[in-house]
């Protein structure tokens, strides 16, 4: 099993080909290809490559499926005995990203044969 740990949208995520992930909003249109070159770790079978801070020549290729909004988070602040109350909600802007392949030095170590339509139908 091959996987990679990437840095995208301000977070570190463990990704595998053929799966989709919701990360913070990326500036790209749906159905566009997206290449991430900030790869922190790559595992290919028994071989593990750790970058300092990034693995040289490693890329993760994906496709933007859609832009979404996350679940609503309610922030409620109250000061007792002062009759002060504030209630606010927040919904994070997210991007659903399908991982197609993991490559090191131009050689794909893990790929998927799924199309974006197969994944979208499975997710619904």
How does pLDDT run across 21-40, given as a tens digit for each residue? 999 999 999 999 999 999 99
Identify which of 4, 32, 37 has the alpha carbon closest to the alpha carbon of residue 18: 4
The helices-and-strands tally (H runs, E runs) of the chain is 1, 11
Q: How far, in whole angstroms, is CA 110 from its chain's centroid?
A: 17
* pTM metric for this prediction: 0.80
Q: What local confidence, expressed as pLDDT, does residue 86 receive?
A: 97
Q: What are the sequence ranges of the domains in the chain? A: 2-123
Token reading at 95: 């991007």
Cα 22 to Cα 14, 29, 98: the distances in Å are 12, 15, 9
Mean pLDDT of 42-62: 93
Instruction: Compute the distance between CA of residue 46 and CA of residue 32 in angstroms, rounded to an integer.
Output: 32
What is the C-alpha to C-alpha distance for residues 116 and 112, in angstroms, rounded to an integer? Answer: 11
Question: What pLDDT band is residue 111 in, cutting at 50, 70 and 90?
Answer: confident
């Amino acid at each position: 099993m091959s996987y990679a740990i990437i840095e995208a949208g301000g977070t570190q995520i463990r990704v595998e080909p053929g799966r989709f992930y919701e990360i913070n909003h990326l500036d790209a249109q749906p159905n566009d290809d997206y290449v991430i070159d900030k790869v922190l770790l790559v595992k290919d079978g028994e071989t593990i490559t750790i970058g300092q801070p990034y693995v040289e020549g490693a890329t993760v290729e994906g496709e933007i499926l859609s832009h979404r909004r996350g679940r609503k988070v309610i922030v409620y602040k109250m000061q007792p005995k002062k009759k002060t109350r504030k209630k606010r909600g927040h919904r994070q802007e997210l991007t659903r990203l399908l991982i197609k392949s993991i490559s090191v030095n131009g050689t794909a170590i893990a790929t998927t044969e799924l199309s974006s339509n197969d994944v979208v139908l499975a997710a619904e």
